[in-house]
Every structure is written in C-alpha cells, then in structure tokens.
Amino acid sequence: MKVGWAVGSVLTENGPASVIIGKDTRVSGYLFESALEAGFLSAGVNVGMLGPMPSPAIAYLTKAYGASAGVVISASHNHFQDNGVKFFSSQGVKLSDKTQKAIERKISTP
C-alpha cells in the first residue's frame, strides 16, 4: 500500500492523476493489485483496473488512455512463485530517474 501511496503522492504533486493497473495471472498479483489500488486511492489518484494482460499492452494503453502512469504486476519470465511491479510514465516508458528518486524519498519517509 505504501508504494501505491508514494507513487500517487508524486503523481498528484502537479494536479489530478490517474493510473492503470494490469497484471499477469499469478495469484499473488491479485493481492498486490488491491494493495496498490488502496495506496493510489489514499493519495487521491483515479485508478483503472485492466486485469490480466501483457506488459507491452499496459505500456501502450498508459499512453493511449492518457493516464499519468501505468503499473504492471508481473515477474515476467521468472518462477511462478515470484512477482514484481513495473511502473510506466504517461508516455508508456520507464519512469525518469528524477521521478524514481522522488518516489524513493516518499517511501523512506516514516
């Protein structure tokens, strides 16, 4: 939840924000999805849930829908028991180093 809040807090610094969340079919993805959604909502971010879909589709749809960011919950080619989270900018590409550092600062704040 704190990660969603931190990302959402950074995204809303310049006004209203929206994110879309997609995932693969790992069972743990549903848990991560709910936690991220709660964090984003607590930061005042509008959230769209896309369900299971490939990572490149999330990147494309982030830009196509005009979302502030996109999130993919997937461990890609790793073991089914693993999972991870990737964030895309509004352009459907990796977040800038500046944005990542701002998120890290929010996460490390008690």
Evaluate if residue 59 carries a pLDDT over 90.
yes
pTM strictly above 0.85: yes
For 93-105, give one letter per residue: b (16+ CB within 10 A) or e.
eebeeebeebbee
- Model confidence pLDDT, tens digit, residues 61-109: 999 999 999 999 998 877 777 889 999 999 999 999 999 999 999 999 8
- Residues classed as catalytic: 76
pLDDT interval class at 46 (50, 70, 90) = very high
Contact (CB, 8 A) for 72 and 58: yes
CA dist., res. 36 & res. 88, Å (int): 14
pLDDT of residue 76: 81
Residue 87, strand partner residues: 71
Closest CA to 82 of 29, 34, 20, 4: 29
| pLDDT at site 69 | 98
pLDDT of res. 96: 96
Counting residues of the chain whose pLDDT is more than 90, the rounded percentage is 89
Instruction: Return the CATH class of domain 2-7+16-94.
Output: alpha beta
SS3 32: helix
Structure confidence at residue 77 (pLDDT) = 76
The domain locations on the chain are 2-7+16-94
Q: Residue 25 — very low, low, confident or very high, per pLDDT cuts 50/70/90? A: very high
